[in-house]
Structure 1
């Protein structure tokens, strides 16, 4: 079990394509979005008002002992503070609300997209990485709206507004105040560049950690069977160490930057106090102006300190967006352009010159030709890797053929609506997957049109009714994750019921009894024959004894059909099928 570590680039904040795509999700909420922009501008205008009114209160009222005027100005200040608090609340709420509704829409779109992707995509992509895309990466997008874009705009507007007011009040004192600005800008830029790389390392580490955990928890039985606990624990420690180091590095940069920023701000305030005090003593500057400038400096440096962090929040949002949109833009989905929508089919199947490869032109099926008439049972046999499972995957269009065509009732399966095509085909696989839910849900898969009576009728047909009734709660029994509370045979019986309850015209059994013990197999073999009666059936089986009654047996070897006929005909040929038959007889004798 190997795990390829994910590496991604940091991207650019000015990636207009990504920002345009993000804005497309904002369009349904334009009123709220533009309200947020208005609130952002309004907050920027309100920011310098408090120091200004304090200056007025000190110089125009306190200095001359005007108590009545002081009360009035204080009432104005209180009103402004209440207004600012309300606007700040509305701004915080709207930014958070927009972020959440947008990530809801994107997450829904992404999951819908994943549902339509080819199985080949999931064969090549770690599930943990897809979980990271759908959960962590999308969650990062919420910060783009709550702490990123809107906050950056607000900070920049606040800086411009405060600077304008400061120059208007006293341009000399303003220049003194800005003496330390170059130091703050340089330190902020260095911090931004360092933390940008670190944040990207954190995102990669999270993705790798998710992928490792998902893969190894799912395959825990293999880890324990082969005594790999210690080795896998060491590998986990290594990945977890990288995750920890990435976070610690970001903490280190924060622990350095913010104290440095505080020192620079303190130096700036010190310079203002020193210069302003001299001017006050010379009677060239009012004390209220000096006090207001100290407050302006605190307001001015705070957005500069925060803007680096906000830019990196935006940066990580762009990185996450790029990953998500790359996944959304992938065209690895089954084309569903067909319009053939029959209510019923006879069940005839014909493969004509079918070639198929999972990777490029490394063909696992070569020039496959055979026909299954309505109601016939055809068995596919051959060694592991001969191409048996590939054929049944192609019939349901889980994968697309490279050359040739597959016809169902004389119509190319690509002309069928995908949902309709799969509705007519019931598949029972060797590896049964059950969801962490009730038996009833796992049989109906949430289809409200299937009643409990229909489920129990199908269960009785395949011999599963008795074991279901013995379970606590019957159909309401929770099988837990992957059906852990059921035996292998019971899980297989549930899969039989699941296939039968949809009443398909075509039944596909992919080594469906290979995981069932001989006694259980004998019990359900008669039920399987009833299930296949009147239906077109394609059976893959390792045990040749189970397919001797098939109307036709097709023998595959290295992706090609080497023999075809009934059981007796193939034994008379004395070829590949005969060798397989004799090998099984010897293994049974042993």
Structure 2
């Protein structure tokens, strides 16, 4: 993506705040005009000093009074410009962050699963902050610098055209130096942003799995991997900063050339009587003011290069295709629990087939257990039923409606899902249980907790249901977190259930109690139970035995044991007495 395209897209987000932009531009113009007026006033006051004892104090006093007013007004407009640019920048970045977060909710789950979560977090947080810094620097310094350069040239032309032309002829040297360095540093800043995202992803991955790291004594290898990424970040960062750091001394050298040229040309002109001493002083001040913005502009290059590199990463997220729209589709309102799958094919990668020619017919209220070895496609079926992924071929229907003909939200609201991996957020116990039903009453929440056998341990917490748990429930045991997730579904009481190893983290005694609660909750509801422990699914109406993405056996527990096939081998491997 070209820099001009990136800049155009960034500026498109400022459109709703055009008045702040206009205000900032007007304030910048007035501030620059008043700043450029000061050297003229100083030059005039110098010309009123003719010789020793021949000073026109009344005229100087009047000029100093006007000068003080110009300085005060200039400071006021600069403050107002900063206020406008801050409002413009932070409102623009706020909208960009909101849109990016919203996009992450709209992209297919395949995108989230296929990218490092830390890298995605880096794009939403760090990269957008860097865009904010670049915008702020750009509006406050870049625009003001350009206006100052143009205004200074205009004032110099009104004083003496020949000396002004000397400045104009040397100007391309500053532009050449700035563009030369910018081209070489841009590539390094892009690489720096990419490696920074990689490091964020790696750190997030390790911090979130410290127990595993320590359990396998992986600390030294983790440190080595981190240092390797850090070394690459150091290398590209040093190169980027090296090139960008050359801009200031290079432009300062050019500034010295400009100042010397103006001084020499002005002195020769003054000797000829074509320029007063005050005008020469004014010219020298303008020479400084003219070259100073080049220092500021080149100093902003580092921020802008980083901002553009970060903007590319953010726009890459925004340009991701979203899930197929379903805004015009009807809602699924008459869910009776009937589910069918006809000749369904699906794979996560085109070169690796997984689900092939899956056919399934589930009647309302049936309990369907799905068993099989790891990687056979059990969880994939759940992903397809919930339409987290769309099928490659075939069709899945709920209550006679193809699931791609109704809205995803209405389809997913028909299911209550408890996964093996628990998810809780930082908040109270009450808020976590009521996650899917925020308007739930206190008695409903307590009843759901009792049904999930979570009420007793919740009462023992310091503030009961008002106890605030840390992110992901870090101050609770794994079993307690699972009980809260189960209570969350108990509260919703949906027409269909999905239990994916829902009791895997619970002790045997509690599991028996939960199983009874599940039995009660599953009465009259279609249920899909994914299990490795076959003892938990013996009462299922039908057991689907999967292998390599295909249903190879199905029937009740007794029927499958009598067949003596794949299921019987799985069952016997778990319960056969040791020889």
TM-score (norm 1): 0.91
2:55 counterpart residue number: 65
Equivalent residue number for residue 437 of structure 1: 427
Comparing 272-281 with 365-374, which one deviates more in the overlay? 272-281
Tell me the secondary structure at the aligned position of residue 14 of structure 2.
helix
Partner Cα separation in structure 2 for residue 71 and residue 219 of structure 1: 73
Q: Counterparts of 2:534 and 2:304 in 1: how far apart (Å)?
A: 62
1:367 maps to which of 357, 366, 385? 357
Cα shift at 1:301? 0.6
Residue pairs, 1:558-577, within 5 angstroms = 558-577=548-567
Match of 1:352 among 342, 361, 365: 342
Residue number among 527, 532, 535 corresponding to 2:517 in the alignment: 527
Q: Among residues 3, 16, 19, which one is paired with 1:31 in the alignment? A: 19
Answer whether contact 2:131 2:307 (CA < 8 A) is retained: yes
Partner of 2:38: 50
Equivalent-residue separation in structure 2 for 1:21 and 1:192 (angstroms)? 20
- Per-residue deviation, 1:179: 6.8
Q: Residues 274 and 27 from structure 1, CA distance in 2 versus in 1: closer, same or farther, beyond 3 angstroms?
A: closer
SS in 2 for 1:363: coil
- Which structure 2 segments of 5+ residues have no match? none
Could you tell me how far apart the structure 1 residues matched to 2:350 and 2:328 are? 25
Q: Deviations over 1:287-311 (max 9, x none)?
A: 1112111111110111112222334
User: Residue 377 of structure 1 corresponds to which residue in structure 2?
Assistant: 367
Q: Does 1:209 align with 2:222?
A: no
Contact 2:367 2:527 in 1 (8 A): yes
Tell me which moved more, 156-165 or 424-433.
156-165
Alignment pair present for 1:196 and 2:182? no
- 2:296 equivalent in structure 1: 306
Cα deviation per residue 1:198-226 (whole Å; 9 max; x = unaligned)? 33233223212211111111122221111
Question: Residue by residue, what CA displacement relative to the aligned partner does 1:235-270 show, whole Å, maximum 9, x if unpaired?
Answer: 112222333344444444455442343344334334
Mapping for residues 498-509 of structure 1, pairs under 5 Å: 498-509=488-499
Alignment RMSD: 2.4
**Stretch of structure 1 that moved more, 528-537 or 37-46:** 37-46
Q: Secondary structure at 2:360's aligned position in 1?
A: strand
Aligned pair in 2 of structure 1 residues 188, 24: CA closer, same or farther (>3 Å)?
closer
Task: Name the stretch that deviates more: 53-62 or 394-403.
Answer: 53-62
1:101-180 to structure 2, matched below 5 A, reads 101-148=91-138, 151-177=141-167
CA distance in 1, matches of 2:76, 2:436: 46
Q: Does 1:40 align with 2:15?
A: no
CA distance in 1, matches of 2:550, 2:274: 99
Distance 1:196 1:507 in 2: 53
SS at match of 1:426: strand
- Say which SS state the counterpart of residue 469 (structure 2) adopts: coil
Q: Measure the CA separation in 2 of the matches of 1:411 and 1:566.
A: 27
Secondary structure of the equivalent of 2:71? helix
Residue 584 (structure 1) aligns with: 574
Give 1:484-499 correspondences, 5 Å limit: 484-499=474-489
| Rounded Cα–Cα distance in structure 2 between residues aligned with 1:234 and 1:538 | 44
- Contact in 1 for aligned 2:190/2:310 (Cα 8 Å): no
Q: 1:32-91 deviations in whole A, cap 9, x for unaligned?
A: 222222233333433421111211221146666221111111111111111111111111
Residue 163 of structure 1: CA displacement? 1.5
SS in 2 for 1:501: helix
Q: Distance in 2 between matches of 1:205 and 1:522?
A: 49
Change (3 A) 1:306 1:197: farther
TM-score normalised by structure 2 residue count: 0.93
Q: Which ranges of structure 1 fall in alignment gaps of 5 or more residues?
A: 1-10
Query: 1:449, CA displacement in angstroms?
Result: 1.0
Question: Is this contact kept in 1: 2:431–2:438, CA < 8 A?
Answer: no
Structure-1 residue corresponding to 2:404? 414
Moved over 6 A (4+): none
For 1:251 and 1:315, the matched residues in 2 are separated by 11
Matched-pair contact (CA < 8 Å) for 1:33–1:98:
yes
**Separation in 2 of the partners of 1:562 and 1:415?**
29
Shift of 1:13: 2.8
Give the 5 Å matches for 1:443-458.
Answer: 443-445=433-435, 447-458=437-448
1: CA distance between counterparts of 2:557 and 2:449? 31
In structure 2, how many angstroms separate the alpha carbons of the residues matched to 1:12 and 1:47?
A: 36
Kept after mapping to 2: 8 A contact 1:189/1:308 = no
Rounded Cα–Cα distance in structure 1 between residues aligned with 2:531 and 2:158 = 88
